[in-house]
Amino acid sequence: MTNNKKQIFLNEVTDQIRSKEARAYVANELNYHLQEAKRVWVEKGLTESEAEEKAVEQMGSPTKLGIQMNKLHRPKVDWWLLILLAASMGLSFLPMFSLGYMSDKHFIIYKILIAFLGVTATVGVMLVDYRKWKRQGWLFYMIGILLLVFLSFFSNTMINGLKLIKFGPITIESLMALPFFYLAWASFFNNEKLRIWQFLLLFLSPILLFLAVPSISTIYLYSVMVFVMLWWSKFSKKIKWMVTTGTVSLIFLTCLAAWQFVKPYQIVRLLAFLDPEKYVDGAGFITLKIRELMANAGWFGWFGQSATRTFIPEAHTNFVFVSFTYYYGWLFGVFLVVILLLFAARMIAIQPKIKDSYGQLLLIGGLALYGIQLVSNIGMTLGLFPITTMSLPFISYGLMPTLLNAILIGSVLSVYRRKDMVWRS
């Protein structure tokens, strides 16, 4: 009888709550509080049925309580991140106009499709309850591994030495393994039972496969992401320092051992970064060309002027910031950087509001992956970093980079959406 009364009370409360997720959360929380109140009354001498009835009465009006809970626990939407996403997607069309690509029907359709899929992926991931991924770390890890194995042995295209798989207009590259490793490592680091030897094995295995593809820039992104997440894991500080210094030393020794296998053009590319004037007819040409373009951009750029179109290498992909700044000017270039930096600033602002340790790992990992792309691409453009394959988040042309960052932002939005629904363990 009392069980029926408790269930009726819970049903009346949850009937006032619109969100299915919030309904389940509130029912779980109220059931916990009812059990605690019942225990107190039993200790005071009441029978089980009397104690439960008293606990239900203490809760007050189920309708009023339900209305309050609906306001308090309804899923949140971070409109700031969505506005920034819309702004950056809109700005990503500008380089296509200035470079003349929007007069080509193929580029128009594909660019619109990329933007649509990017926004759809972001919203789709946001609507998924991130807590369902918590126990799926091994599944995500194996998907990432299998994707790299598939690329290593079954690639049908090679561009700049990088193995790719082409399915019509869609190109699958090693970058697409990163979202799966991102989700996997959030799960692994949230597990207090993770051991150092397991960490090293799990960390180094994908690196070997990335080398087989090969993709040095993706290894760089992957490594930064993992080590930033490591410092937010449940390991002690001593272990974090030991693992970090040990792994960095191991990577350094491996690089020394592998130096003899580095191809001559890769060595020249590194030397050209250090002294481009010596390699003006080779690898240093791009560095000097970019330096010249950025110096001549001016505050208002060259777009719409009668000057002939200037050659810019990889103008819509890796060096999209160069073409953007050259044609629209430094004023607009700085505005673009501010918009992209606001993504990171917003994620940093959200972080203290997230109480769930797994949610924090997802947020920190997403921030690390997004931030390192942004800093590396801009740094490469300004001559601070060596030239490598690195996209500018949401601005560079390409489906895979856009989907990677869409998944990252979608994951952050999913965590934020449920920040007031932290389940009791």
Least confident residue range of 108-112, 134-138, 214-218: 214-218
Q: Over 60: is that where the pLDDT of 3 sits?
A: no
Q: What is the mean pLDDT of residues 358-367?
A: 95
Mean pLDDT of the chain: 83
**More reliable by pLDDT, 166 or 146:** 146
Q: What percentage of the chain has pLDDT greater than the value 90?
A: 31
Contact between 354 and 415 (Cβ < 8 Å)? yes
Between 53 and 127, the more confident residue is: 127
Structure tokens at 112: 């619109």
Residue 233 pLDDT greater than 70, yes or no: yes
- How far apart, in whole angstroms, are the C-alpha atoms of residue 68 and residue 77? 19
59 versus 398: the higher-pLDDT residue is 398
Q: Are strands 170-172 and 162-167 parallel, antiparallel or unpaired?
A: antiparallel
Q: What is the pLDDT of residue 305?
A: 60
Which of 70-84, 177-191, 293-307 is the most confident on average? 177-191
pLDDT over threshold 80, residue 109: yes
85 has a pLDDT exceeding 90: yes
Residue 1 has pLDDT above 50, yes or no: no
| DSSP-assigned letter for residue 159 | E
Q: Each residue of 26-74: pLDDT tens digit?
A: 777 777 777 777 777 777 778 777 777 777 777 778 777 777 777 776 7
pLDDT, position 81: 94
Band of residue 258 on the pLDDT scale cut at 50, 70, 90: low
Region 336-357: mean pLDDT is: 93
Give the mean pLDDT of 141-166: 80
Assign 340 a pLDDT band (cuts: 50, 70, 90).
very high
Percent of the chain with pLDDT over 70: 89
Q: Please give the structure tokens belonging to residue 158.
A: 């090679």
**pLDDT confidence tier of residue 136, bands split at 50, 70 and 90:** very high
Specify the pLDDT at position 307: 45
Contact between 363 and 344 (Cβ < 8 Å): no
What is each CA distance from 167 to 121, 299, 318, 340, in whole angstroms? 20, 42, 22, 31
Structure-model confidence comparison of residues 126 and 62, the more confident one: 126
What Cα–Cα distance (Å) separates residue 37 from each residue in 11, 14, 65? 19, 19, 17
Burial string for 190-201 (b: 16+ CB within 10 Å, else e) reads: beeebeeeebee
- What's the average model confidence in pLDDT over 151-175? 73
* pLDDT over 80 at 24, yes or no: no
Q: Are 399 and 173 in contact (CB under 8 A)?
A: no
Instruction: Quick: pLDDT tens for 195-222.
Output: 888 888 899 889 888 888 877 888 889 9
Question: What does the pLDDT read at residue 52?
Answer: 75
